[in-house]
Amino acid sequence: MIITSGATLVAMSSGSKAKSQALGGTTTTTSKSGVISTSQTTPYKSTPGPLYSAAIVAENKKPGTSAWRITGYQTPTNIEGYTSKVSVNQGNSFTLFVSTTSKDYVVQAYRMGYYQGLLGRLIWTSKTLVGFQQPTCPVLAPTNTVECNWKPSLNIKTDSSWFPGDYLLKLVGNNGAQKWVPITVRNDRSNAAVVVVNAVTTWQAYNLYGGYDLYSGPKGYSDRADKVSFDRPYDYYFGQGAADFYGNELPLVALVEKMGLNVTYITDVDIQKRPNLLSNHRVVVSLGHDEYYSPEMRQALTVAQQDGTNLMFLGANAIFRRIRFESTKLGPDRIEVNYRIASLDPMNGVNNQQVTTNWPDGPDPQPEGTLIGIQYACNPVKYDMIITDPSSWIFANTGLKFGSRIHNLVGSEYDGFDPYINYPKSLQLLANSPVLCRNQPGFSDMSYYTTTKGAGVFATGTNLWVAALGSPCPPFLGNCPIAPVVQITENVLKAFGSGLPGVTQPSQPNAIQVWRNPPIPAMHPVPTTTTTTSTTTTSSTSTTLANSHGTTTTTSGKNGKSGST
């Protein structure tokens, strides 16, 4: 069913005058270019609501559809687009920029959830729009920043039919062209028990649109971008325009909505803009790959946790890169800055807190494990997750025992316990899985700790957790969803969304004991024997187990960490 009354198309006029209007704690501004923007002017604080939501249950009973999926043969530039903001508060507007080889196209807005297992519901469809190709996006020196300067295609005003959540805008050309554009619809007055955070700063860091991201340029790492812009589409080869949402985030979204949890959605950029909102919720959920954090974002998480908000880290490599933001003509927080090396950053020695190195590194080292409990170690790996403390409530109804393995769940990046940082002393390691990464032994850890205020922090220690919640998933994981992974996630969501687990289920500290005496022996580095003859060179390798703890690698890969992905 196509609904055409769910949003308003606002006519574009390059000569329109700027105007502002205060609307319920927000300011709405229309610029001369026709781009509508809003900013919050009044903080909102509320007591978190109940665990379950009749509204979420009712929403997911509405007819779902699989029509949100991309079908048919596609090319990178047959249709593509980006939005003027990464999220919009329900009732406000955003601008869409589209380039296409199709003579006309439509935009379909799908809210993503469970919806009888179909995962999407059609909320709104635009009128037929005239297609045209936008200019090639320039590369701005000296930071190699790809930033588009496209004409607005349409403004979309959300209304009450746009139920807050994660949306995929599907661009559909009359020539068969299809791409996605993600947008999050917020409710800034929500006190939902659960808030799910879309990791758009990490999406943008890995966005190679125009040939540059924070990892590489045309020549590789040597000419990578130091700054990336949200004023561009996500690359076709990165989720067909949806970036990391489809694989590393949607399976969790579908699960929480299937459960009927009282959930709302924001992006990590919204944490930068509205840090006070986190304390309105009982649990903040970080998804499969949540790597890039500004000091303001990290501080918001820390303050919320100290205020009694629970944290779930369902990936690995979270809060590893330190970033800051700059503005574009579309508004604030549209440029993401990450120089990697302190001496290259103009803020070095000026404001060291804003220097964009890795969080564990100088000039202002703050290892992420001081908040998460565990922290980034290495990649790539692919190993079984091994349960070592099955007595925890977190494993209730899973059937897992000591030594139980979840096939190939550790990867491709993993987190582990580091005893040499100021780690939380209440830290409990639940899974302690030996790995070899770049021929260095280590352990991937699943962890849990509680605070004196009663807050809980749970971390899976692997990038693959969210992917294992849905189907299809990477073939090497086997049949998904993986039942124990789903059950553990549900257990933690229910406990964290209900109150203070530090009061009802306090952690049982064991981290330093596990580190000193691993329940499962560490792997030895692979010995390599090289035999050289006049015509050939051969190498043979073997893997053995040792009864000593492995040492996590600290060797930097080409991208400034041990094997960036």
CATH code, domain with 243: 3.40.50.880
Cβ neighbours for 136, distance < 8 A, ≥ 6 positions apart = none
Residue 395 pLDDT > 70: yes
Residue 21 pLDDT > 50: no
Which segments within 338-497 are labelled E, that is strand? 375-386, 405-416, 428-437, 440-450, 456-459
**The pair of three-digit structure tokens given for residue 495, joined into one six-digit string:** 């406990």
Using left for φ > 0, alpha for ψ between -120 and 50, and beta otherwise, residue 193 falls in alpha
- Do the domain assignments include residue 97? no
- Do the domain assignments include residue 209? yes
- Return d(Cα 367, Cα 377) in angstroms, integer: 12
Contact call for residues 106 and 95 (beta carbons, < 8 A)? no
Q: How confident is the model at residue 404 (pLDDT cuts 50, 70, 90)?
A: very high
- Return d(Cα 440, Cα 436) in angstroms, integer: 5
- Do the domain assignments include residue 107? no
Instruction: Give the mean model confidence (pLDDT) for residues 29-48.
Output: 49
Look at the chain and count its residues.
565
* Burial tier of 29 (Cβ tally within 10 Å: 0-12, 13-18, 19+): middle
**Mean of the per-residue pLDDT values of the chain:** 89
The model's pLDDT over 349-375, given as tens digits with 9 standing for 90+, comes to: 999 999 999 999 999 999 999 999 999
More confidently predicted of 539 and 376: 376
- Do the domain assignments include residue 532? no
Cβ neighbours for 3, distance < 8 A, ≥ 6 positions apart = 122, 123, 124, 125, 161
Q: How confident is the model at residue 79 (pLDDT cuts 50, 70, 90)?
A: very high
The model's pLDDT over 277-336, given as tens digits with 9 standing for 90+, comes to: 999 999 999 999 999 999 999 999 999 999 999 999 999 999 999 999 999 999 999 999
Q: How confident is the model at residue 544 (pLDDT cuts 50, 70, 90)?
A: very low
Residue 30 pLDDT > 60: no
| Residues spanned by the domain of 420 | 54-60+186-516
Q: How confident is the model at residue 388 (pLDDT cuts 50, 70, 90)?
A: very high
pTM of the full structure: 0.88
Contact call for residues 333 and 307 (beta carbons, < 8 A)? no
Q: DSSP readout, 265-306?
A: EEEHHHHHH-GGGGGGSSEEEE-S---EE-HHHHHHHHHHHH
Instruction: Give the mean model confidence (pLDDT) for residues 470-492.
Output: 96
Total domains, the chain: 1
* Among 327, 328, 271, 267, residue whose Cα is nearest residue 295: 271
Query: Cα dist. 385→238, 402, 517 in Å?
Result: 27, 11, 18
* Among 87, 86, 85, 81, residue whose Cα is nearest residue 100: 81
Question: Can you give the pLDDT at residue 176?
Answer: 95
- Return d(Cα 333, Cα 441) in angstroms, integer: 39
CA angle 368, 311, 213 (to 5 degrees): 50
Query: If residue 7 lies in a helix (H) or strand (E), which one and from where to where?
Result: strand 7-10
- Return d(Cα 271, Cα 275) in angstroms, integer: 5
Instruction: Give the mean model confidence (pLDDT) for residues 408-421.
Output: 98
- Do the domain assignments include residue 332? yes
- Return d(Cα 515, Cα 525) in angstroms, integer: 18
- Do the domain assignments include residue 417? yes
- Do the domain assignments include residue 271? yes
Instruction: Give the mean model confidence (pLDDT) for residues 198-207.
Output: 99
Contact call for residues 415 and 372 (beta carbons, < 8 A)? yes
- Do the domain assignments include residue 377? yes
Instruction: Give the mean model confidence (pLDDT) for residues 366-389.
Output: 98
Question: Can you give the pLDDT at residue 167?
Answer: 99
* Among 287, 250, 243, residue whose Cα is nearest residue 268: 287
Greatest Cα-to-Cα distance within the chain, rounded to the nearest angstrom: 81
